[in-house]
Amino acid sequence: MAHGHGEQTNVEYYALVEAHELPVVDVNRSLLKALFTPAQAQIYRAVSKRVDPICTVLYTIAFPIGASVLTTRTDLARVLAVFKFVFQVPTLLLASADLRLDLLRILVTTYEFCFFTLLNAATCVILSMHLGDQRMILAPVYWYGVQMNVWADAKLTPDVHPVELVSTSNHTMSSTDFLLNAFTTMTVLMARTAYRKRVLSNGSDDDPRVLRFRQLVLRLLSTFDFQFLSLQITLGHICLCVIATWDIRCYSVLASWLWLHWALTLDALTPAARSVLRFQNHLTILVLLLIATMQILTSEHILSSGSQNVHGLVFLRADIFGRQVVAKAVPFYLSRGFTTLLWMARIMWRLLRSDPDELTMIQGSVEFYGNPKALRTKAKSTIGKLHKRISGVLLREKSRVQPEHT
């Protein structure tokens, strides 16, 4: 296990480094080259170069059309949905041709990619069921329109068909509840992707190779994993307090919140501190398993409750364009709880597979560098300074803390 050291002072310095060797990828292996011969690919490139400006304009125009589909009268919305589909599909196909097979192979093994893809697929399917007519053709291309999530609520969309997804004797979760919560989560994830894309593309002067304890804490608090999961946990626990009508049971809710944040902030412990405390990863796993079990039992108890007062509680109420949007406490809590459980499972999986000095929440960014004309390109961690090349937005590299010799 790594340990800190000091030279004539009591200050200990640590470096964040790659936990494992990074892969070498062939960026020339694209989907286009896999599907077509060199001659066919050359023809495709020539055609796409000519039509790309027009497709870009049509793709941009389709965004306000998508918003109109979810807000205008039904007969007109059905026509607009066709235009949105036709305007955006060409650009999506052009973009798909440039997908790099080696990068796809790496991406599909990441938790973020799987979580984002499954949530988006479920949202598209349920949105199709929710609309229930030819407007459903906008669902496959709605991936790029998640910033319009506020208009997905049924109260803002005329003539939709809410579908019961989960039904018990006392409670029903409809497609309206799912879409409201799913689009909220999707928007946060898309914002994360856009932020990483901008930061990695612009480069950074930050060099966190040498960290002290305070800097390690600040870096932990600035990670998306911590902020996203902390927000989900906090909203879910506040919602649970609303369900408990803010009585004495809220103390146990507060205890759960504190334990979860204890688990999220363990990366701030340096290897030396872990050694002194004799801390082991399995302790965190046991805490997370206990809280996950309690959360599942709490959800089951809420669903089986016959109290109409509980199922009628409202967590958030807002007026948008003269229409009222209501987030009920029970569906909101269940949605946040499901998201939290998935990310808790991710943390436990990391802990099971990691070494004692590997970090759980702080993950290094990954970019790919090398000669653009070369056949193979090596991935490089950007835990240190960024080398502006091909940035990996979703890819995250495991980090570990080790002493820094100065």
The tens-digit pLDDT sequence of the chain (406 residues) is 344 444 445 566 666 666 666 667 666 777 788 888 888 888 888 888 888 888 888 878 877 877 777 667 777 888 888 888 888 778 777 777 777 777 777 777 776 667 677 777 777 777 777 777 766 766 666 654 443 332 232 233 334 444 455 555 554 555 445 444 554 555 555 555 555 555 444 444 344 333 456 777 888 888 877 888 888 889 889 988 888 888 898 999 999 999 999 888 888 777 777 777 787 888 888 999 999 999 888 888 887 776 667 766 777 777 765 666 677 788 888 878 888 888 888 888 888 877 767 777 766 555 555 554 444 444 444 433 333 333 343 445 555 555 555 4
- What pLDDT shows up at residue 264? 86
**CA atoms 189, 191, 197, 200: torsion sign:** negative
Both tokens assigned to 237? 């626990």
Edge-to-edge strands, sheet with 377-381: 14-18, 390-403, 358-369, 377-381, 24-25
* Cα(244)–Cα(386) distance, integer angstroms: 48
- What pLDDT shows up at residue 301? 84
Q: How many CB atoms lie within 10 A of CB 265?
A: 15
Domain positions in the chain are: 100-362
Spell out the alpha helix ranges (H) of 70-152. Answer: 74-97, 101-107, 111-131
- What pLDDT shows up at residue 404? 56
**What string of DSSP letters covers 265-320?**
TGGGS-HHHHHHHT--HHHHHHHHHHHHHHHHHHHHHHHH---HHHHT-EEEEEEE
CB 356 within 8 A of CB 269: no
Against a cut of 0.85, is the pTM above it?
no
- What pLDDT shows up at residue 267? 81
Taking alpha carbons only, the member of 365, 358, 371, 350 closest to residue 399 is 358
CB 289 within 8 A of CB 281: no
- What pLDDT shows up at residue 187? 52
Spatial CB neighbours of 119, under 8 Å, sequence gap ≥ 6 = 182, 185, 186, 189
CA distances from 69 to 6, 134, 150 (A): 63, 11, 13
CB 136 within 8 A of CB 82: no
* Cα(112)–Cα(110) distance, integer angstroms: 5
Helix H or strand E encompassing 381:
strand 377-381
What is the Cα 303 distance to its own chain's centre?
27
In three-state secondary structure terms, 17 is strand
- What pLDDT shows up at residue 200? 45
- What pLDDT shows up at residue 289? 92
CB 353 within 8 A of CB 213: no
* Cα(127)–Cα(137) distance, integer angstroms: 10
